[in-house]
Amino acid sequence: MNPKIARVWQWAGTPAAARVLFAGMCLYFVALGVLVAKQASLVRCQAEYASASARSTQARAAIAAEDRRLDRADDAAEELTRASFGRLLIAMRDQPVKGAAPVQAAFTDLLKTQTSENNIRAANRAERLRLEDERRKNPPAAPPETFC
C-alpha cells in the first residue's frame, strides 16, 4: 500500500480526525440551514409577488368588465337605431305601393329609437365619468415593480 494512503488511514482513526469530521458536518448543517432559510425567504417573497400581481390583475379585469358592459350597451342601442333606419328605408322603398302611412310610422319609430339611443349614450357617458372619477380617487393596485 502507498505510504501516504496508509498515513491517511492511520490518521482517520484518531480523535483529531473525529473532531475534524464533526466540525465539517456542523459546518455542512449550518450551511444547509442557511440555504433552507434563504429558500423559504425567496418562496415567501414569490408568494407575496404573486398575490399582489393577482390583486392588480383582478382590479384591472373588473375595470375592463365595466368598460365592456358600457360599450355593449352603446352597441346595442346603435343596433336598434340601425334596424329602425333599415325599416324606414324599406317603408320608403315600398311607399309607391303601400302609401305614406308606413313611412310616417317608420320615421316616428326612428326618432323614438334615436332619442332612446341618445339617452342610453348620455347615461353611459355619465357612468363612465363617474367611474373615471372613482378610479382617480381610488386607483387600482399597480402590479409589483420588482420580482424577488
Per-residue pLDDT tens over the stretch 71-120: 999 999 999 999 999 999 999 999 888 989 999 999 999 999 999 999 99
Q: What is the dihedral of CA 109, 113, 114, 117, to 10 degrees?
A: 180
Helix, strand or coil, per DSSP, at residue 54: helix
Q: Kindly give, in sequence order, each residue whose CB lies less than 8 Å from that of residue 74, ignoring residues fewer than 6 positions away.
A: 120, 121, 124
pLDDT at 12: 83
Q: Does residue 91 lie in a domain region?
A: yes
Q: Does residue 65 lie in a domain region?
A: yes
Domain of residue 18, residue span: 14-137
Q: Does residue 1 lie in a domain region?
A: no
pLDDT score of 143 more than 90? no
Is residue 96 within 8 A of residue 63, CB to CB? The reply is: no
Q: Does residue 9 lie in a domain region?
A: no
Q: Does residue 147 lie in a domain region?
A: no
Q: Does residue 67 lie in a domain region?
A: yes
How many distinct structural domains can be found in the chain? Answer: 1
Q: Does residue 36 lie in a domain region?
A: yes
Q: Does residue 146 lie in a domain region?
A: no
Largest CA distance in the chain: 124
Q: Cell digits for 133?
A: 372619477
Helices (H), 3-142: 3-12, 15-93, 95-98, 101-137
pLDDT score of 142 more than 80? no
